[in-house]
Structure formats: C-alpha cells, structure tokens
Structure 1
Amino acid sequence: MLLSSDLSKPVVLMRTLPEVPFLDHHTLGNFLARRFEAQSEKLSDIPHPNQLKDAQKGAERLARAIRNGERIALVGDYDVDGVTSTAIVKRFFDLIPYPLFTTIPNRFTDGYGVSKNVLERLDADVIFTVDNGINALEAAEVCKSRGIDLIITDHHTPSEILPDAYAIINPKQLDCPYPFKEICGAQVGWLLMGLLKQELELTINMRQFFPFLALAIIADVMPLVGINRAIVKTGLEMMQSSTLSPFVLIRDFLNRSNVSSEDIAFQIAPRINSAGRLEDAKIALDFLLADTTEKAYHQFELLTALNTLRKETEAQTTAEAMTHVNPNDTVIVVAGEHWNEGVVGIVASRLVNHFQKPAIVLSIHNGIAKGSGRSIGAVDLYTLIKAQEHLLAKFGGHKMAAGLSMSSDIVEQFRQGINEAAKHVNPADFIPHNEIVGELEHEMINFQLLELLERFEPYGEGNPRPHFLIRDADVVAVKLFGSDQSHSRLELRPSRVSQKTLELIAFRRTLECPENKKMSCSYTVNKNEWNGRVSIQLMIERVF
C-alpha cells in the first residue's frame, strides 16, 4: 500500500471516489470566477477606518501624545501577523518621525500578549497593542492603576467581558460597525495608523505598507476574498519592485519571476514564525525593519537556521503526539511533558491534516498544560473551546485557530468535554474546503491552463488552488529522488486507450507502487521555474 512519511500530506483511503465533472478550460474558468461574484476587489472599497469602533478615539489619543511629547510604547505578538504589525507601526512612526518603544513578548519568559510581566519593563504614558490584548483584563487594570492609557488593537474573538482599556479597536466586537470582519491584526494596526496620519495632517502614502499587509494576511490565513484579495494582489505586485531590504532579500531567495501567495505561505512565513517559536521574535522584527540588504541577509540566515531546527523539533514532537491520539475522538486532544511550546501549533496542524479532524496539542510544564488548536472545514474551534471555559485558565483565538491553558490534571476532563460538545456540530462542517473541482482530460493540461489558473491568483484561504482528480490510472513507474530519497516522482497513465502518461511529484513523501498497479489521486497544477525555464508541474495532494 502507499506510504507517506510526511504527516502534512496524508494518505487517505476512501472506498468511493468523489463524483466530479470533467472540465475544460471554459468550464473551469467559470467555476473559479463564481467564487468572487459577491465580493468587491477594489482597493477603493476598503471601508474607512473610522468605522472601526474606538479607532478615532485611539488615533486622537496617539496624536495628542505625539503633540505633547509623551512616551508611547507598542506591544506586538510573536507570530507573523504580530511581528509584521509591529514592523508596520514602527516604520510609520519612523516616518513621522517620533520615538516609539516597541516590544514583542517572548513566548517562553513573558507568555502571550500585553501581560503583567511585559508591563513591568514599560515606562510609558500611552501603551497600544497590535494583534493582541482583547482578553488582557489584568493588564488593563495594571495600566489604569499606573495612570497609563491602554489602546488595544486586535482581531481575535472577544469574550463577554472586555478589558477596561482607554480604547478597544477590534472589528469582531459585537457593536463594531466595520463591515469586513475577517481582517488580520496588521490590517487593524494599519487602519489605525491611517487615522493617525489624518489627525496629524501628514502626507504619508499608506499604500507603501501593502507588501507587509500581504505577508500578514497570507500568513494568518485570512480569507483571500474581497478587500483582503485586493490588498494581497497589490502587495505581491509591489514586492516585485520594492527597494526595501527585506523584500529584496525575499525576491533573491525565491528566485522567481513573480512572488506568489504560496511562496509566502510555505517559504517565507515559516521562517519568520520560527524566531518566536524557538527563540525570540525580535530576530524576525529586525529582518522586517532591516535598512540594508546586509542586515536583511544576516537576519534571514538566522531565521533559516531556526526554521531548520523548528522542522526537526516539530517532526519529533509530531511523532510523539501521534502515539497519544485517540482515533475515535471527533476532536483530537493530546498533551506531553515538556513539548516545545513553539511548535505545538504546527503539530496540531499536522494532526488535522493527517486525521481530518480538529486538533489541540498541549505542552505540560510545572503542572500547567498550555498549547494551541487548529480546526478544519467550517468547524468553529473557538466556540467548542469556549464551551469548556470553566476548565480553562486562559483561552483566545478565532474560528480556525486558538490558544489555551489549563491545569494538567484536567486535560482528560477537557478532552471528554470538548468531544461531547463536538457531537452537536454538523458532520458536513468537518469536510475540508479544498475539495476536488473536477477531472481534466490529458490535452487540457497545457500552458493555457497555467495562464487560466494564474488569472485567479492569489490562492489561499477562501480561494483554494483547484484540486483535480485522476481516477484509476495505471501506475507506470514510481521513483524516489533527492539527496535523501525523500521525494517521489510518479508516472501515471490515466486512460487505457491512450499511451500518454502524466508525471506527478510528491515532495517530502515516499510512495510505492500498489499491488494492483492502479492509483487514484488528487493533484494541483503549478508553475515550475528553474534556471529561467518555465514548465508545468503536477503536485500530488491526496492518494485514494
């Protein structure tokens, strides 16, 4: 039987293959176009930032602080969205110019967000957050007692009780009229800076931050529809010509004619994330703030080394987590002593992909289980976790991802409780969004198809790259390649009446020929660039 060494690309066996239509270029184009019929993709349709509740109030307070020479501090977050948010705001303040003290909490010594520990090292009149703070009840009380005005900007789902802060800017607040709710932390911070620009009557061009916004939107898995899609398309185009050192370095590293959303998601975002996961997010922030290519190169080398270490740590933790999984659970909950807190979110993603179920992975230290969860399909993981709120010390997040902590002795009670709650979820919600769209005749797989697919980029959440089906193909050959023989190249003949074959690639997966020499699989069609030569590359996604 077929084997997979990479849990992120699982082998899933199905008794019956999905019934999907045969597609030509015209029907495929119509299918993809329908995804965007109800969504405007004009930058001019980005709602005015003053529609964000408290945004005007927050901008006015920051403007007054700047005019009066008050001390301002910024607290970011250690993931890509949080680091990029911090970089956008720091670059904006540099343009004013006005001194801004920036700090990103260390995952291991500070914990998440604007914690009491972080506040102890801040000496400021005004503190504002990006990509965190919506549940910072204690921090708000500390700020109030010290006479500090706290401005929270966040995009995570609020609880019923909000911090007693000077201003809370979050589109997910129930009484916030901002019409587009699914924006990332960097977008909220950017919108606030847009209002601050108006308050200070500056002429700063806010479009210059689009490459950073594109990076954050893609990395934080925001839906690539509507204004998100418009910003990402423009931001990726601007990356191609940007003279800013981090983007010069990204272009050189990718060595492609065009930077795609998938390049960012799979090549760049994991490197930026690795700093906060394993060491300190300041390494990533210094990369995004680098003012010379030499500085950017040095920081990127550090990020690449950390990312290599992250992969090793993640692989080891994933293997251990697999042994803890109860395969009968609807929501996977696993915990382990001293698992690295920085990789538990990725391990959760690996388990989701392998088992096709939501997963929560917890690391136990000193009697406290702390970790992350990832969801699948339309399952609202935040709501499921919230149903167990009485068991939790802290939790936060949104529909597809969440963080949480609890006493280690109630992990089993939590596991049982969340699985009981999951029984009430519609089974259809567990179906992944990257469904197969159809089958393609051999002659349809050509450069015209590649051009058609490029027309609907960027692909990502809300606009998945189309998956196509090969049904009952003859397996002509299976070969392993790479220095460690960890990749597979398959030659398949989809039709017995034709001698034409297709070559498909499975990176980081070792596959072998099934006994009956027949295979059904889904695949994507990708553009491959190597030494200036462009070719079509078919990538295996799932084997049935």
Structure 2
Amino acid sequence: MGRLADSVDALRLLCTTDPKRAQALTVKLNEVNQLRQDQTITMFADARQKVGANRNLVFVQSQNYNEGLVGLVAGRLAEEFHRPAVVVALGPHHAKASMRSIKSFDAIKAIRDLGDLVMERGGHPMAAGFTADAKNLPKIKKQLEAAAARLTDEDLQPETGYDCDLELKQINWELFKELERFAPFGFGNPVPLFYTKSVKLLSFYPVGAENRHLKLKLPGFAGIAFGQGDLAEKLEPGQLIDIIYSIEQNSWNNHSNLELKIKEISL
C-alpha cells in the first residue's frame, strides 16, 4: 500500500469496527494493490528489454519508473538473471535507485563504496538503495559494474532446487491464486518452484538479444527459459524433458494467461 498511496488506510482497516467503513477501505486497498501489480508488470517488461548481454550487473533506468516500485522490479530482475540488479527512477534532479543482489555480491558495501557519488544510502547485503544526483549516474553505473566484474561464472549460476513435484494438468488459476497468497516474494520468501518430469516438448525457438532466451510450447502452457538459448541446438520437437519452474501470470492486451518461467531443463 505504502508504495503507491498512504499506508494509513491499511491501519484504519485493521482498527475499524464499522462494517461499511471496512468494506469501503477493502475496496480502496484492492484497487491500489491492483494498480501496483499493473505498474510493476509494465515496469518489469520495460526493464527486461533493457538488460544488456554479458553483463555481471543489471543497471536500468527511466523517467517513467515509479520510485515506490523500483525495489520490486529489481528483485524480479535479480531473480530472473541471477546477478545484482539496479533499477533507477529518474527525477528532474535526483534519482532514486534500488538494488537487489545475490549471495556472492554485497549490495550495501558496493553502494557505500560509491562515497560522495550518492546522497543517501541504506540497506543490507541482499537489498539496498540510494539517492543520487542524476548527473552522477554514469559514474555510479561504471563503478558498480567494475565491482560486479569480480563475480565468477560460478557466482552467477543459480542454485536451483524445487519445492514439490507437480503435474502440468494440476496447474490452473485456482492454484496460482493460492500461491499468490504467499506473496510478496523475495529474499527470505522465494517464489515457489516445481518439478515436472517427462514433459513433451511440442516446439521451441530462441528469443531476445543474441538469442539468449528460449521460448517453449508445452502441453497446455507456454514456457520461457531465460539465459538458456544455447539449449536450442540440443533440443528436438517431441522429445521429453524434465523442468523446474515457477508459475507466472502473463498479461498482454487485456488478456491474461498462465506461463511457466523455466529455471532448469534436463534432457
């Protein structure tokens, strides 16, 4: 609530004994939450398109980003690309940024090392943020990228596990809504991951800059495997694959469907 509006309404809902007042506050809170979700999806889609290839650190910025949502988007980028991610909301004079990181990169130390390039800073090793003069952003980006250049290929490999086995036929909107009750996801509360064995691969094709990602058609669902485009030469339509994935909502042109974000493919 506090990311887009006054969070005091949430407190009022907890404190009120008037059913009509509670109903009105519930409607208002739901509307703000839906707006937050819609804006986060839009920001994330834009940020994802700006991610450069072969970088140890993601750094994206825009005047159109909502400063209250940069942390959510940075978290999704760090999770998806498994590298430190910085998302910056540009203002007329100042920029507000949020960083989400991985275990092998101390976010708050990297920001503290920026010294006078930033005006305010705070956070911890996995999640931190700063406010800076917009003119300092090129230097800030260069210094953070230099710090992340020390990360090894092993550091940038995701630690893939999963929470439980699942059949594709068990995936539906009811399950997705139940999973969403555990949100928000992030450090300390990772998105649930599932394992399905012997899934028939109907078709596939590489997407994105330098064909870095892989789009898959599976029975009943589309799948996207970020950073796994090199698997295209090893796959064949009709073969059986084992997958570890999360269940995501994909919204486009006022239409929503469930999509599998695939973390790992085993042949």
- Other-structure match for 1:419: 145
Corresponding residue for 1:400?
A: 126
Kindly indicate whether residue 79 of structure 2 is the aligned counterpart of residue 353 of structure 1: yes
**Deviation digits for residues 442-496 of structure 1 (CA, Å, limit 9, x no counterpart):** 9xx9xxxxxxxxxxx9x9855868755445532479xxxxxxxxxx9954xxxxx
Letter in 2 for 1:436: G
1:517 maps onto 2:233 in alignment: no
Q: Percent identity?
A: 27
Matched, 1:542 2:262: yes
- Contact 1:357–1:430, Cα closer than 8 Å, also in 2: yes
Query: Is the Cα contact below 8 Å between 1:376 and 1:432 reproduced in 2?
Result: no
The answer to whether 1:319 aligns with 2:45 is yes
The offset of 1:396, in angstroms, is 0.3
| 2:94 paired residue number | 368
Aligned to 2:210: none
Unaligned 5+ segments in structure 1 are 1-274, 446-456, 478-487, 492-504, 526-538
What aligned pairs does 1:240-389 form with structure 2 within 5 A after superposition? 275-389=1-115
The amino acid of 2:139's aligned partner reads: Q
Question: Match for residue 244 of structure 1?
Answer: none
Q: Which has the higher strand share?
A: 2
Contact 1:361 1:373 in 2 (8 A): yes
Query: What letter is aligned with 2:36?
Result: R
Relative to structure 1, the CA distance from residue 439 to residue 412 in structure 2 (aligned partners, 3 Å threshold; closer, same or farther) is same
Superposed CA offset, 1:65-101 (max 9, x none): xxxxxxxxxxxxxxxxxxxxxxxxxxxxxxxxxxxxx
Output the CA distance in 2 between the equivalents of 1:381 and 1:341: 18
Query: Using the alignment, how far apart are the partners of 1:438 and 1:279 within structure 2?
Result: 34
What is the aligned-residue RMSD (CA, Å)? 3.8
1:436 pairs with 2:157:
no
Counterpart residue type for residue 360 of structure 1: V
Deviation at 1:425, TM superposition (A): 4.2
Q: CA deviation at 1:424?
A: 3.1
Give TM-score, length-normalised by structure 1.
Answer: 0.34
Say if 1:465 and 1:277 are closer, same or farther in 2 by CA, change over 3 A.
Answer: closer
- Listed as ranges, the gaps of 5+ residues in structure 2 are 171-181, 204-215, 225-234, 248-258
Partner SS, residue 436 of structure 1: coil
Offset of 1:430 from its aligned partner?
A: 3.9
| Alpha-carbon distance, 1:438 to partner | 9.8
Structure 1 residue 420 displacement after superposition:
0.9
Question: Aligned runs of 1:73-84 on 2, under 5 Å?
Answer: none
Q: Is the 8 A contact 1:349 1:374 kept in 2?
A: yes
Q: TM-score, normalised by structure 2?
A: 0.65
Q: 1:293 to 1:517 in 2, by over 3 A?
A: farther
2:161 is aligned with what amino acid? I
User: Which secondary structure state, in structure 2, belongs to the residue aligned with residue 278 of structure 1?
Assistant: coil
Q: 1:287 to 1:355 in 2, by over 3 A?
A: same
Whether 1:390 aligns to 2:106 is: no
Q: How does 1:114-153 map to 2 (within 5 A)?
A: none
- Matches of 1:294 and 1:490 in 2, distance apart? 47
> Cα deviations across residues 97-140 of structure 1 (Å, max 9, x unaligned)?
xxxxxxxxxxxxxxxxxxxxxxxxxxxxxxxxxxxxxxxxxxxx
